Chains A and B, each alone.
Chain A
Amino acid sequence: MKRNMSFFNATSLSLGLAFLYLPMLLLMIYSFNESRLVTVWAGFSTKWYGELLRNQQFLDAAWVTLRVAVVSSTIATVLGTMAAWVLVRERRFLGRTLFSGMIYAPLVMPEVITGLSLLLLFIAIGLDRGILTIILAHTTFSMCYVSVVVSSRLVTFDRSLEEAALDLGCSPMQAFGFVTLPIIAPAVVSGWLLAFTLSLDDLVIASFTSGPSSTTLPIKIFSSMRLGVSPEINALSTILISIVAVGVVVAALVSKRQIARRETEEREGQK
């Protein structure tokens, strides 16, 4: 369908996008500001990026955050994919309602409550707060997101492919590894990416579950924000936004190409 957008529609779309992007754009532009006064432009400079790289506290926090994100999103992807499988394939087992409830509840649970309850658990069982507790906490809530993403793909999965593999002599594990997994792989990958960014961005749950030696980047950013706007935070934010933007665009392009390839294959298969 080809038609030109009306003036009203074009205006609301551009205003909406401007509203979404202008704040981030301003933040990024002013990270190159010479002056320490963030809102007054005093010439181009990259010195705040240099300051940032020399700030050991930020670097330590970034390293903690990265380790937590990689480990928690990987465990969450395994557990979340298993949970998705159970949700879609296992129609009858004891406590299925409770299980699906526990998958969906963390998605709507306020972060302050999740954080509080996990902290109280760690204290009750005497587990010292540190990187391990943050990983446990992040894995728990992000596995639910992973399982939602993966189960939406599993629902549309054609089971006859798997049955064919079993008929041809595959063990159930082989059928999963050679047939099911490659087909649901894009959903598993986007589940991992979602879990990774959720862990990277989380302030509230990490604040409750971290110890004094395991400050994550959002915690560090938040405590500096309380002192007001600073050019180092602007520089750091610019770096983080750029990484995410590049990641999302690349992921979108890759999945678009994969979908196109699959469609061609399916078309050729039908011939």
Chain B
Amino acid sequence: MNFRRLFLIATPYGWLLALFMVPFLIVLKISLSDTAVAIPPYAPTFDLSAGWAGLKELFSGLDFENFVWLTEDDLYWKSYVSSLKIAAVATFFTLLIGYPVAYAMSRARSEWRPTLMMLIILPFWSSALIRVYAWIGILSSEGYLNQVLLWLGVVDQPLTILNTQIAVYIGIVYTYLPFMILPVYASLEKLDESLLEAAEDLGCSRVSAFWRVTFPLSKPGIIAGCFLVFIPSLGEFVIPSILGGSRTLMIGKVLWEEFFNNRDWPVASAVAVVLLLILVIPIVLFQRNEEKNA
């Protein structure tokens, strides 16, 4: 192996080992440590100078009591369940809204498609924080939505939407809509038109041709889109903390509060480890789906 090749491989490798792998191992270690009232607020710490004896002591100091604590206090499992539920429901609504848009894009004239594509991608480039913030003005009790509804006479009391789970659903659908539209559009665009013509020649109505030909063929895009929305919304912090109010439980927010407000690092680390274990399942399924369609 020559020097140039070694340098090429070792530089990014070393960087990722030091700043991705090692930090992750530290989280794992701290999640097994005891809470202590100190700075940093956990024990035991690393002490490499103690050598082998120190290492043995380190491992004997590790235990699973933070994980036991997670199962005993129902705040945590309630947050995991509620995160899973919110992510699943939001993914469903994203599909419901995103599919017709992707479908219409694939039916548009081919010279419009790049422009439409850019219009879908553009919001993704601007700050998610700002885009979520924009909804406060719309959803608050004196916000634009309530102003319009009151003016139309649809409601006579302003609706409470901000600081509820509905606001979180809206925020997730809004933020991740491009993630659904793009893969679905990619699979619809590849669709061979002659299949639809054949179906119609054979007596299918246009609606049943859609359900029997188009929809099944767009399944890989739908599955990819669902994972791309579900996976990031599970650990979402910004949306529930801005739109969800104090009563919406999501695990990303719980981790944040455990860390910054309660300063309980071992529990925050344990929360992180469990969240990762939950995420492994959809990620592996997603990868299988991608490989199958590659």
Contact = CB atoms under 8 A, between A and B. Distances in A.
Contacts of A30: 137
A85 B9 CA distance: 9
B9 A108 contact: no
Given A9-B104, A39-B143, A86 B8 contact: yes
Interface stretch (A52-60, A157-165, A178-186, A198-206): A198-206
B19 A140 contact: yes
Contacts of A38: 137
A23 interface: yes
Interface string B16-40: 1101111110110010000000001
A86 B12 contact: yes
Interface string A96-122: 000100110110111111001110110
B11, B20, B107, most chain A CB atoms within 10 A: B20
Nearest to A122: B23
Contacts, number: 228
A197 B125 contact: yes
B9 A93 contact: yes
Interface residues of B, number: 84
Contacts of A221: 129-130, 133
B97 interface: yes
Interface stretch (B49-57, B68-76, B149-157, B227-235): B227-235
B200 to A, nearest CB: 14
A143 interface: yes
Contact of B26 (A12, A23, A121, A229): A121
B14 to A, nearest CB: 10
B30 A85 contact: no
Contact of A233 (B17, B128, B133): B133
Contact of B11 (A79, A117, A147, A249): A79
A149 to B, nearest CB: 13
The winner among A109, A123, A197, A244 for most chain B CB atoms within 10 A is A109
A5 interface: yes
A168 interface: no
Given A233-B133, A244-B126, A112 B11 contact: no
Contact of B269 (A106, A109, A120, A173): A120
A79 B12 contact: yes
B8 A82 contact: yes
Interface string A1-18: 111011011101101110
Given A225-B136, A237-B133, 6 more contacts: A5-B108, A10-B104, A13-B105, A27-B137, A82-B8, A222-B129
The 10 closest A-B pairs by CB, nearest first: A110-B235, A16-B101, A117-B23, A12-B100, A9-B104, A83-B12, A23-B134, A13-B104, A121-B23, A201-B127
10 contacts: A5-B108, A16-B177, A23-B134, A23-B135, A24-B131, A111-B235, A112-B235, A117-B27, A241-B126, A248-B122
Interface of A: 1-3, 5-6, 8-10, 12-13, 15-17, 19-21, 23-24, 26-27, 30, 38-40, 79-80, 82-83, 85-86, 90, 93, 95, 99, 102-103, 105-106, 108-113, 116-118, 120-121, 123-124, 136-137, 139-140, 143, 147, 172-173, 197, 200-201, 203-204, 208, 218, 221-222, 225, 228-229, 233-234, 237, 240-241, 244-245, 247-249, 252, 256
